[in-house]
Structure 1
């Protein structure tokens, strides 16, 4: 009888009970110990849905800047998430010990290998695994190592200029934003596989990779705000059993395997072996050689995972930076002319090669380096927090004790638009980065707030690749062409973790070289 009464009660009041539980959960979120007094959007303290909605709108980077301008150094953007706007906290949150661990946002951005998630240096949350994997591959990303293949980067530059010349000769506007990504993809192909991917030669998206990466970023950026959902969606381990072909959905992995197969053979036991006569200075060659010498140090899985990470992240972030540099130069003709004068003067003095070498750009073109730095400050390639979990014992951030398990992070857009450090923060002013006798202290402070590549043990491994590409192709294009934006001259930006831009078309006109 009692059981019947209980069932009757539940049937009658199930919806009110569920609503009561929901309200209780929301109130508990709001008054979470240690976080209830941190300011932010009112609804964000109750639910993660506010942050998901903000990301869905595609302008989360500007939202973050506005919130910190209104509330100060700490802003609560979800029940358990605090955005930090203080460069002095970088050394604590992103310390070399790695005790502030990565959050559930990162593993979503991994490939599947043999039906299991395969974490790369970016996606792994394990500091021990990160240290172990980094030791294996760090040398391949050093400037010295990469410059052994500088001639291959020059080949990409030559092909790019040829393609741009064809547009100039026809007086036809060009989607320069897309072509810059083609260039970045082919450079990554040369450095990673000793072979271009074919983006520049075809003038289009090869195997739908650009579209596939954009789709993966949209998924990761949205689901990453509520990472628990991933295990009910593409991260569900049952999917590989119910749909064995699911691994073939990952375009990055398939694209990587296709590139690997052009250079290697697979032995009977399924292991990768570099074909004789195909050894070079590219990353595949180096890592395959290590594997051949010591299979315990470098496995086939390691090689596939690290190469696919290059394919996924190596083109998009660099293309974003290249677009930003040229866009801001075209929007500011006085800066473009100043850079061109520097390049022409250095060329006339015999300090530049026909295809400008990286060491020449670093040493002979100070304004170029300032332009690159300012464009990346004004438009960082990443537009979200670099999220970390506070260790179990808790930590004091900006004078406020935050309990263990709280998610904290710094958004590069927030630091790099701080008006106290960068006066007129939304203006493109490369001169601010030029060293003088009087501004060394200001420069040091600006460097401390420059966060485009992250910091600490998880600083971007591919930063040298990006910087080489920028230092080589930008002066080449500026020297060879007059460039102007078509239409209203405005780009459209959508933040999907990477702050991707859609540029207006560009009109190119060949220049007469300086006498």
Structure 2
């Protein structure tokens, strides 16, 4: 009876004072966020310590990389951007946070970017938080991403370059302006298609989006970037496990997955139970052929699910990031005519050494200024523009001289490191010569802050694809065309990838020198 009486009193109190009770709960929640996380001494925006909504809104606006750069200039190496998040601007912490052991585990931001297939989320090398799973999964596919393996398909990249040049020649012939940024993405898509499926994806031939894949990627990136700042919302939104059962058609919304399944079916077949047939596996050097061959030999070495996941991840990430880098390189060369002239001279002076389509080896061996240009383009405009988040291990750790408790989210943003004037003199200046310095100490310092592909065990697995494309297509473009910007400035938006638009140019054909030695 006494307990019932006490319950009645509590219920009466709640019914009588609902607003004060709710306000008290909210106050407790906010105070715990601000002062109960063990990082209240770390400076940052006034609202950031109280709620994750400051971070959510900052990312939603699409300029988060510039905001964070400014905050570090104001506050130093450590900035608190949410109740449990600390942004780190210290290259010395890269081997600590992104170590080979993987004890700084990925946060809830990453699983949002997994695909849903057969009504279940399927994690890839990027999205998984399980370090053991990542190690085992990477062993199965890493060889296909090695430069040695990719060079076996260099002729396929040349085929894409040939088609790309043919398509671009129409524009100067007709005196038309070309959105070169869009065409660079079409090129990147088709190259990824060759590496992945041994066929172009059709972007260059069409001169436009295929099956709405570009639009799909943009939508996924925006959702992942914004909801990723408050990942606890994801299970109630697109991550709701009931949703695929209520709306089985939602898997078709991801046109990248749909295209991947279609590409697989054009080469082999997926049975009703979802298993892939290996009877049609070929001796090709593309990734689908390689993995089908492995599966045909030993079904336990790689599963159908893993093949589907890795192939779709290639299409999703391999095109956009490379296209962003290519746009940046062209844009900043056009904005800096002296750099453009110097690079063209280097290419022309080595014409007798270069193949009809520049090989990757030739670009590395004979074009040092080109390689400095490529690196500077990636430095001044990294493809990824948000924090590469990790959880501090249990027990806490000292980061940049400050003790950070276990469970706190920490990480480094490439933009912050690349615009640190203590490491990169005049960081907003496009200056390829900085990478050609004879000062070995300075060069080593810059290399330690170069964070385009991440670091540690989670270094971008596809970086060799990107490096090969850039080393081949940039000199090819400049051999064939003079490029002039139509717009003085482009537009950028940070949706996890820092995408650009407005790279409209006028092309003029160049007279190629003979590539025969005199």
The TM-score bracket by the shorter chain reads over 0.9
Counterpart position of 2:302:
298
Deviations 1:343-398 (A, max 9, x none): 00000xx2111100000001100000000000100000000010000001111100
Shift of 1:241: 2.2
Counterpart position of 1:195:
199
Counterpart position of 2:78:
74
Shift of 1:13: 1.1
Counterpart position of 2:465:
465
Residues 359 and 504 from structure 1, CA distance in 2 versus in 1: closer, same or farther, beyond 3 angstroms?
closer
1:279-428 correspondence to structure 2 within 5 Å: 279-347=283-351, 350-428=352-430
Deviations 1:393-442 (A, max 9, x none): 11110011111000000000000111011010000000000142xx1111
Deviations 1:18-76 (A, max 9, x none): 11111111111111243010000011000000000100110000011000000000000
Counterpart position of 1:252:
256
Counterpart position of 1:449:
449
Counterpart position of 2:153:
149
Counterpart position of 2:99:
95
3-state DSSP class of the match of 2:500? strand
User: For residues 245 and 497 of structure 1, what CA distance do their matches in structure 2 show?
Assistant: 27
Question: Is 1:174–1:507's contact at 8 Å kept on the other side of the alignment?
Answer: yes
Question: Is 1:352–1:360's contact at 8 Å kept on the other side of the alignment?
Answer: yes
Shift of 1:5: 4.9
Q: 2:90 aligns with which of 86, 101, 113?
A: 86
Counterpart position of 2:476:
476
Shift of 1:247: 2.0
User: For residues 31 and 10 of structure 2, what CA distance do their matches in structure 1 show?
Assistant: 27
Counterpart position of 1:52:
56
1:115-194 correspondence to structure 2 within 5 Å: 115-194=119-198
Counterpart position of 2:216:
212
Counterpart position of 1:440:
440
Question: Is 2:268–2:281's contact at 8 Å kept on the other side of the alignment?
Answer: no
Question: Is 2:397–2:404's contact at 8 Å kept on the other side of the alignment?
Answer: yes
User: For residues 71 and 280 of structure 2, what CA distance do their matches in structure 1 show?
Assistant: 58
Question: Is 1:65–1:417's contact at 8 Å kept on the other side of the alignment?
Answer: yes
User: For residues 287 and 400 of structure 1, what CA distance do their matches in structure 2 show?
Assistant: 46
5+ residue gaps in structure 1? none
1:21-60 correspondence to structure 2 within 5 Å: 21-60=25-64
User: For residues 474 and 183 of structure 1, what CA distance do their matches in structure 2 show?
Assistant: 12
1:210-249 correspondence to structure 2 within 5 Å: 210-249=214-253
Counterpart position of 2:508:
509
**TM-score of the pair, normalised by structure 1:** 0.97
3-state DSSP class of the match of 1:266? coil
User: For residues 417 and 277 of structure 1, what CA distance do their matches in structure 2 show?
Assistant: 47
User: For residues 127 and 245 of structure 2, what CA distance do their matches in structure 1 show?
Assistant: 23
User: For residues 514 and 414 of structure 1, what CA distance do their matches in structure 2 show?
Assistant: 42
3-state DSSP class of the match of 2:22? helix
Shift of 1:479: 1.1
User: For residues 34 and 188 of structure 1, what CA distance do their matches in structure 2 show?
Assistant: 45
Counterpart position of 1:19:
23
Shift of 1:267: 4.6
Residues 24 and 359 from structure 1, CA distance in 2 versus in 1: closer, same or farther, beyond 3 angstroms?
same
User: For residues 349 and 406 of structure 2, what CA distance do their matches in structure 1 show?
Assistant: 56
**TM-score of the pair, normalised by structure 2:** 0.97
User: For residues 315 and 322 of structure 1, what CA distance do their matches in structure 2 show?
Assistant: 11
Counterpart position of 1:493:
492
3-state DSSP class of the match of 1:408? strand
User: For residues 3 and 361 of structure 1, what CA distance do their matches in structure 2 show?
Assistant: 78
User: For residues 88 and 219 of structure 1, what CA distance do their matches in structure 2 show?
Assistant: 32
Equivalenced residues, count:
510
Residues 14 and 424 from structure 1, CA distance in 2 versus in 1: closer, same or farther, beyond 3 angstroms?
same
User: For residues 7 and 136 of structure 2, what CA distance do their matches in structure 1 show?
Assistant: 58
User: For residues 400 and 110 of structure 1, what CA distance do their matches in structure 2 show?
Assistant: 34
Q: 1:265 aligns with which of 269, 272, 279?
A: 269
Shift of 1:249: 2.0
The worse-fitting range, judged by mean Cα deviation, of 273-282 and 90-99 is 273-282
User: For residues 396 and 101 of structure 2, what CA distance do their matches in structure 1 show?
Assistant: 15
User: For residues 464 and 12 of structure 1, what CA distance do their matches in structure 2 show?
Assistant: 66
Shift of 1:15: 1.8
Question: Is 2:281–2:289's contact at 8 Å kept on the other side of the alignment?
Answer: no
Shift of 1:275: 5.3
5+ residue gaps in structure 2? none
